[in-house]
């Protein structure tokens, strides 16, 4: 485990043998997938507008919105300040963006994705955050998990409000 912690601190993706689960939230937005994708590709610029608990976001490695680039985002979740480094691992415009989290947090939260699909006359935006911990950790981190779920739901509702108002 010490080697995994050191690798995660260095930003190297770590694969543990425990099962990976996911938190998901989706929202339908009355606009095209291309428009949602366009907003998503401006995430560093519009991050603070997306949610009142978002502090900042900036590209720190690579060309924005390219596989291998890293976005550093700072936000408050459940009263805890989180500094996240998201390395983009897959991009399929205008439908899918996947990322791995870098650093020690990747031991518990290895990554996630944003998916955009046509739905009715608009789009369905789905955010997914992967987590890797068992039942005991779920009980210990119950409030943090609930805060993350609430934050994801608020992000979806805020994104709908932003895109439908414009």
Does the pLDDT value for residue 157 go beyond 90?
Answer: yes
Instruction: State residue 27's pLDDT score.
Output: 97
1 vs 75, more confident: 75
- In percent, the amount of the chain with pLDDT more than 70 equals 84
Instruction: State residue 138's pLDDT score.
Output: 67
Q: How far apart are CA 130 and CA 112, in angstroms?
A: 5
Return the percent helix, strand and coil in the chain, to nearest 5.
35, 40, 25
- Region 16-38: mean pLDDT is 86
Confidence of residue 130 (pLDDT cuts 50, 70, 90): very high
Q: How far apart are CA 66 and CA 107, in angstroms?
A: 24
| Complete domains list, the chain, with CATH | 18-165 (3.30.530.20)
Q: How far apart are CA 46 and CA 41, in angstroms?
A: 9
**pLDDT one-digit tens code per residue, 91-107:** 999 999 999 999 988 88
Confidence of residue 43 (pLDDT cuts 50, 70, 90): very high
pTM score: 0.83
**pLDDT one-digit tens code per residue, 137-156:** 666 677 888 899 999 999 99
- Kindly provide the residue ranges of all beta strands, DSSP E only, lying in the chain, ordered along the sequence: 21-29, 54-61, 70-77, 80-92, 96-101, 111-119, 122-131
Does the pLDDT value for residue 3 go beyond 90?
Answer: no
CA 126 to chain centre: 10
């Amino acid at each position: 485990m010490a080697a995994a912690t050191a690798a995660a601190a260095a930003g190297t993706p770590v694969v543990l043998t425990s099962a990976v689960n996911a938190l998901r939230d989706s929202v339908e937005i009355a606009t095209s997938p291309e428009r949602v994708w366009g907003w998503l590709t401006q995430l560093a610029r519009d991050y603070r507008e997306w949610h009142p608990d978002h502090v900042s976001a900036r590209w720190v490695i690579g060309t924005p919105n390219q596989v291998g680039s890293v976005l550093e985002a700072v936000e408050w979740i459940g009263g805890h300040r989180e500094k996240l480094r998201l390395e983009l691992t897959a991009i399929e415009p205008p439908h899918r963006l996947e990322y791995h989290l870098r650093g020690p947090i990747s031991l518990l939260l290895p990554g996630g994705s944003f998916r955009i699909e046509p739905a009715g006359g608009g789009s369905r935006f789905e955010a997914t955050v992967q987590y890797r911990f068992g039942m005991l950790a779920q009980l210990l981190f119950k409030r943090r998990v609930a805060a993350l779920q609430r934050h994801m739901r608020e992000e979806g509702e805020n994104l709908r409000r932003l895109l439908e108002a414009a």
